């Protein structure tokens, strides 16, 4: 990390010369023994063949290892999507999710009626 408020060290002289533009060649002489630098990067050769799974056998897509991997993946997906009812609360949640809209509204209405009846009984007991 540099010092933000310190002085610039000009001992190396790297920034004494003006900059150069893009496309301008290398202004420094090439080191001894270095040949002509290529102007474009080399493209690696294309490797063909079907895609393989890391660590898998060299068999093709119809091999038993690939089929076994697909079966295990399908079983894991089914296990993730299976309903998990654990205990009383889990069972209640699963039952709530199975209810349709009308059943939910009916239950809410019944709860509201019970609340109003209890309020009426409480006000009658208070002799208002």
The answer to whether 65 and 57 are in contact (CB under 8 A) is yes
Question: 68-99: per-residue pLDDT in tens?
Answer: 888 999 988 888 877 665 788 888 888 888 88
Q: What percent of the chain has pLDDT over 90?
A: 19
Question: Distance of CA 116 to CAs 31, 110, 111, 113, Å?
Answer: 95, 10, 9, 5
Write the CB contacts of 65 (distance below 8 Å, at least 6 apart in sequence): 56, 57, 59
| Farthest CA pair distance, the chain | 111
d(Cα 10, Cα 20) in Å, to the nearest integer?
A: 19
Helix (H) or strand (E) holding 41: none
- Domain locations in the chain? 88-125
Question: 7-49: per-residue pLDDT in tens?
Answer: 666 666 666 777 777 776 665 655 555 556 656 777 777 777 7
The answer to whether 48 and 58 are in contact (CB under 8 A) is no
Averaged pLDDT score across all residues of the chain: 76
d(Cα 107, Cα 96) in Å, to the nearest integer?
A: 11
Strand ranges (E), 8-127 = none
The single-letter DSSP state of residue 3 is -
For the entire predicted model, the pTM comes to 0.29
Question: 94-128: per-residue pLDDT in tens?
Answer: 888 888 889 889 999 999 999 999 999 999 998 76
């Amino acid at each position: 990390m540099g010092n933000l408020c310190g002085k610039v060290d000009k001992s190396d002289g790297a920034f004494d010369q003006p900059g150069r533009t893009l496309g301008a060649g290398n202004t420094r002489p090439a080191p001894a023994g270095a040949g002509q630098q290529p102007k474009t990067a080399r493209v690696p050769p294309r490797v063909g063949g079907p895609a393989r799974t890391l660590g898998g056998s060299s068999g093709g897509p119809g091999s038993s290892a690939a089929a076994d991997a697909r079966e295990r993946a399908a079983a894991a997906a089914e296990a993730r999507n299976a309903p998990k009812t654990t205990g009383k609360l889990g069972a209640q949640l699963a039952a709530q999710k199975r209810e349709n809209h009308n059943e939910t509204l009916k239950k809410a209405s019944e709860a509201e009626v019970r609340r109003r009846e209890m309020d009426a009984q409480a006000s009658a007991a208070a002799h208002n």
